[in-house]
Amino acid sequence: ATPTAIITAMGKGAEMGILIKDAESLEKGVKIDTIILDKTGTITEGSPKVSEFVEMGNCTKLDRQVIYSLEKKSEHPLADAIADYLSAEEMAIQDFRSMTGHGVQGVAENQIYKVGNLKWIKTSETILHPELEKKSQNALEEGFIVVFASKNNQILGFFKIADLIKETSKEAIAILKKMDIEVHMLTGDQEKTASMVAKAVGVAHYQAEMLPEHKSKYIKKLQSQGKKVGMVGDGINDSEALSVADLSIAIGHGTDIAMDIAEITLVHSDLIDIPKALNLTKKSIKIIH
Ligand code: ADP
Ligand code: MG
């Protein structure tokens, strides 16, 4: 590897908003034949907006204030969306817990509140009113992300949240496939939302309802089949997966942790820069040999 070729490639990358950590990252990039994409914040904008809070009649102003306060404590993009929508006055929460890939919970006025996915919220004592269940199913069919809230295991309602697919995601995935790169999507989100997004952007391999450790296991499995895996994520729940991948690529607007780990950072958060980055590594190595 000639230092000149490395410096040229890194300089060209930097001009395009593709930050390459070091020479080793360039060499790793050449071998990649599989790309794993996180959904939220990677394929999608990751700045979701609440369209509606569909409540049961039992949700009080205080309940909404507690939900707001819980989400204020979470760094999840869905939490920001919910807090923005409710914009109440923050109140004290006891026993706050953030359950990665599930949601958040805490105690206020001696009641246990949870906000997150239904699978996690639902217990044996939870009653899901058929009408509310129908409405949430419809919202999922329409492509919304659905997040439930509960008090003492009783459903208060659900948030209908929209997270737009980035304009260039579909094209970027098509380019990667043309380069003979297998593309997979992994998400902690539920099956229905995952399948809608995967279909919309042309990803055949996807897996929903994945916890962070599932994502890294999935990568290890592909690696055991001889695949060289590049993982692209925004770092919210992705750091474990990024660190096991053969090449880690962080989305620019993501968390600092992701950018610390990442061998390549895409400053513009645009998936079109993935094929560009891979081409850049190939070119630099060609010059080198
Ligand atoms: P992704 O892999 O698509 O980035 P995550 O693993 O970050 O998704 O989140 C998975 C799911 O967990 C979300 O779709 C949501 O249902 C739930 N969730 C996680 N954190 C929160 C939170 N703070 N508030 C509401 N829901 C949450
Ligand atoms: Mg994410």
Q: How many domains in the chain?
A: 2
169-178 and 191-201 helices, crossing angle to 10°: 70
Ligand 2 centre to CA of 101 (Å) is: 10
User: Are both 183 and 222 inside the same structural domain?
Assistant: yes
Ligand 1 proximity of 80 Cβ (cutoff 6 Å): no
- Is the ipTM of this structure higher than 0.90? yes
Ligand 1 proximity of 38 Cβ (cutoff 6 Å): yes
Could you tell me which residues come within 8 angstroms of residue 259 by beta carbon, excluding any fewer than 6 positions away? 235, 250, 252, 265
What is the layout of strands, in order, in the sheet containing 182-186? 18-20, 264-266, 247-251, 229-233, 34-38, 182-186, 205-207
Tens digit of pLDDT at every position of the chain (289 positions): 578 888 899 999 999 999 999 999 999 999 999 999 999 889 999 889 999 999 988 899 999 999 999 999 998 889 999 999 999 999 999 999 999 889 999 999 999 999 999 999 999 999 899 999 999 999 999 989 999 999 999 999 999 999 999 999 999 999 999 999 999 999 999 999 999 999 999 999 999 999 989 999 999 999 999 999 999 998 767 889 999 999 999 988 666 766 678 999 999 999 999 999 999 998 887 765 5
Ligand 1 proximity of 136 Cβ (cutoff 6 Å): no
**CATH assignment of the domain containing 88:** 3.40.1110.10
User: Are both 189 and 57 inside the same structural domain?
Assistant: no
162, 180, 200 - which closes a domain: 162
pTM of structure: 0.87
User: Which pLDDT tens digit goes with each residue over 38-80?
Assistant: 998 899 998 899 999 999 888 999 999 999 999 999 988 899 9
Q: Exposed, middle or buried, 179 (CB in 10 Å: 0-12/13-18/19+)?
A: middle
Ligand 1: residue whose CA is nearest its atom 4: 40
Which of helix, strand or coil describes residue 38?
strand
Which residue range forms the structural domain that includes residue 233? Answer: 3-46+165-288
Ligand 1 centre to CA of 207 (Å) is: 14
User: Are both 95 and 237 inside the same structural domain?
Assistant: no
User: Are both 40 and 55 inside the same structural domain?
Assistant: no
User: Are both 37 and 54 inside the same structural domain?
Assistant: no
Backbone CA torsion sign across 105, 123, 80, 257: positive
Backbone phi, psi, residue 23, to 5°: -60, -40
Looking at residue 58, its pLDDT comes to 83
Residues 59 and 81: beta-carbon distance below 8 Å: no
